[in-house]
C-alpha cells in the first residue's frame, strides 16, 4: 500500500487492550505505523483485570524515548471524551482547543479490515493525533485485510521491534540467567484454551520433528498449567531431551504473575524454534520475536480434544446444577 501523500500526523497514541501479549502486538504495530508516517509514538497504558500490572513493573523505561508513556487524562483531553467512551471504528473530529484528531478502534470488526479507511481519513488533513485502542496486530502498509492477516515482511518488522524492546532488569536478568545455551521452546496454553488444543500425540510428534530439524536437544517449556508443564517435563525427558522450565530452574522466585509470564515469553522469544498452539497469540508472537518463525510448528486444535472438553463441561454442569439452583444445600 502506498503511504505517500499523508498529511502531517504529530503523534500516534496507543491505548493497549486485552492481555499482555495482545498489548505487545498492538504496541509493535502502532510503533511501526508511527514510523511509517513520521509521527511520534506514545502509549497510554491502562491496567485492567486481564492485565493488572502497571507498565513500570514490566518495561525498562530508560529504553523508551522520554514521555513515551502518557496519562489517561492527557489522552482524554486530546480525544475529547472518556476512554470508556472510545469511538468505534475510524472517526475524525475537531476537538475544541486541540485540533483535528482521528481515532481507531476495531471492536467487532478488528483493526486490519479498517486500514484502507484509516489511510484515507488520515491522508485528508493534518492531525494533532491518531489515537488507537487495540489489542492485536495490524499494518497500515498492508491495507484492508482479514483480522488473521500476517506476512513474512510484517513479522520481520515486529521481530526487529521486539529485539529492541527492554523489559525491567528483573525480567531481563531472569531470562539471561536461565538461557545458558541453545534451546527449543514448547508453549502449552490450557487455562482458557482447553477446547482449542492439539492432542498430546500431536504435541510429542511436533517436538520430535523440530528436534530432528534443528538438532537441538534442549527444550524450554512454558505453560499456564503447572500439571501439564510437569507432565511434559517428564515426557520429554523420557524421550531423551533436556526439558526445563523457568519455574523448575528458579523455584524460590519472587516475581509476580505478570512478571513470570513475561519471563517465560522472553525466554520463548530467544529459542531456536518453537512448538505452540495455533490459537495462542502468546506462542505465535514469541515465535515472531525469535526471528526463527520458519523453524516453528503451529498446532491446530484437535476435534476429538474439543469434543472431549465440551462433554466434560456438560457433565460438570449437570452434576452441579442441583446445588447451583438451590435444590440442595
Which domains, from first to last, does the chain contain? 11-163 (no CATH), 169-307 (3.40.50.11350)
Looking at residue 251, what is its pLDDT?
Answer: 44
**Share of residues in the chain with pLDDT > 90 (%):** 73
Residue 66: which residues within 8 A CB-CB, separation 6 or more? Answer: none
Looking at residue 305, what is its pLDDT?
Answer: 46
Looking at residue 135, what is its pLDDT?
Answer: 95
Rg (CA), the chain: 22
Query: Does 2 score more than 80 pLDDT?
Result: no
* Average pLDDT for 175-192: 84
Query: Does 243 score more than 90 pLDDT?
Result: yes
**Share of residues in the chain with pLDDT > 70 (%):** 85
DSSP symbol at 300: P
The C-alpha cell of 118 is what? 484509516
pLDDT bucket at 247, cuts 50 / 70 / 90: confident
Q: Which of 215, 192, 189, 216 is nearest to 285 (CA)?
A: 189
Report the distance separating Cα 282 and Cα 298, nearest Å: 12
Looking at residue 124, what is its pLDDT?
Answer: 81
Please answer whether residues 170 and 205 qualify as being in contact, where contact means their C-beta atoms are separated by less than 8 angstroms: no
pLDDT tens for each residue of 130-157: 999 999 999 999 999 999 999 999 999 9
* Average pLDDT for 91-111: 93
Looking at residue 88, what is its pLDDT?
Answer: 94
Instruction: Classify 99 as helix, strand or coil.
Output: strand
| Residue 207 dihedral angles phi and psi, to the nearest 5° | -60, -45
Looking at residue 179, what is its pLDDT?
Answer: 73
Looking at residue 195, what is its pLDDT?
Answer: 57
- Top-confidence range, 70-84, 184-198, 251-265: 70-84
In whole numbers, what is the pLDDT of the chain averaged over residues? 87
Looking at residue 254, what is its pLDDT?
Answer: 47
* Average pLDDT for 73-88: 95
Q: Which of 92, 304, 125 is nearest to 198 (CA)?
A: 304
pLDDT tens for each residue of 17-51: 999 999 999 999 999 999 999 999 999 999 999 99
Strands 274-277 and 242-244, sheet pairing: unpaired
Looking at residue 229, what is its pLDDT?
Answer: 92
Q: Which of 100, 240, 112, 266 is nearest to 174 (CA)?
A: 266
Report the distance separating Cα 238 and Cα 221, nearest Å: 15
pLDDT bucket at 239, cuts 50 / 70 / 90: very high
Question: Which comes out higher in pLDDT, residue 166 or 196?
Answer: 166
pLDDT tens for each residue of 274-324: 999 988 899 999 999 999 999 899 999 876 545 443 444 343 344 444 444
Amino acid at each position: 500500500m502506498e503511504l505517500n501523500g499523508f498529511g502531517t500526523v504529530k503523534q500516534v497514541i496507543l491505548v493497549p487492550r486485552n492481555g499482555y501479549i495482545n498489548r505487545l502486538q498492538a504496541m509493535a504495530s502502532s510503533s511501526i505505523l508511527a514510523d511509517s508516517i513520521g509521527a511520534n509514538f506514545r502509549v497510554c497504558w491502562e491496567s485492567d483485570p486481564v492485565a493488572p500490572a502497571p507498565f513500570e513493573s514490566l518495561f525498562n523505561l530508560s529504553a523508551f524515548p522520554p514521555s513515551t508513556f502518557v496519562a489517561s487524562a492527557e489522552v482524554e483531553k486530546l480525544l475529547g471524551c472518556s476512554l470508556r467512551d472510545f469511538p468505534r471504528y475510524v472517526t475524525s473530529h475537531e476537538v475544541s482547543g486541540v485540533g483535528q484528531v482521528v481515532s481507531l478502534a476495531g471492536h467487532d470488526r478488528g483493526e486490519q479490515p479498517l486500514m484502507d479507511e484509516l489511510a484515507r481519513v488520515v491522508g485528508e488533513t493534518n492531525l494533532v493525533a491518531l489515537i488507537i485502542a487495540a489489542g492485536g496486530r495490524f499494518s497500515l502498509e498492508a491495507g484492508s485485510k482479514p483480522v488473521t492477516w500476517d506476512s513474512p515482511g510484517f513479522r520481520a518488522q515486529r521481530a526487529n521491534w521486539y529485539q529492541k524492546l527492554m523489559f525491567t532488569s528483573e525480567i531481563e536478568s531472569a531470562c539471561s540467567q536461565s538461557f545458558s545455551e541453545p534451546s527449543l521452546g514448547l508453549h502449552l496454553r490450557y487455562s482458557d484454551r482447553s477446547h482449542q488444543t492439539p492432542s498430546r500425540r500431536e504435541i510429542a510428534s511436533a517436538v520430535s520433528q523440530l528436534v530432528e530439524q534443528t538438532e537441538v536437544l534442549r527444550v524450554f517449556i512454558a505453560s499456564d498449567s503447572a500439571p501439564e508443564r510437569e507432565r511434559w517435563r517428564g515426557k520429554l525427558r523420557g524421550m531423551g531431551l533436556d526439558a526445563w522450565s523457568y519455574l523448575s530452574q528458579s523455584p524460590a522466585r519472587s516475581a509476580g504473575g505478570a512478571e513470570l509470564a513475561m519471563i517465560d515469553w522472553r525466554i520463548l522469544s530467544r529459542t531456536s524454534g518453537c512448538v505452540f498452539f495455533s490459537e495462542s497469540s502468546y506462542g505465535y508472537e514469541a515465535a515472531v520475536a525469535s526471528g526463527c518463525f520458519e523453524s516453528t510448528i503451529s498446532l491446530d486444535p484437535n476435534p476429538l480434544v474439543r469434543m472431549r472438553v465440551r462433554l466434560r463441561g456438560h457433565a460438570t454442569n449437570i452434576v452441579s446444577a442441583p446445588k447451583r439452583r438451590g435444590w440442595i444445600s
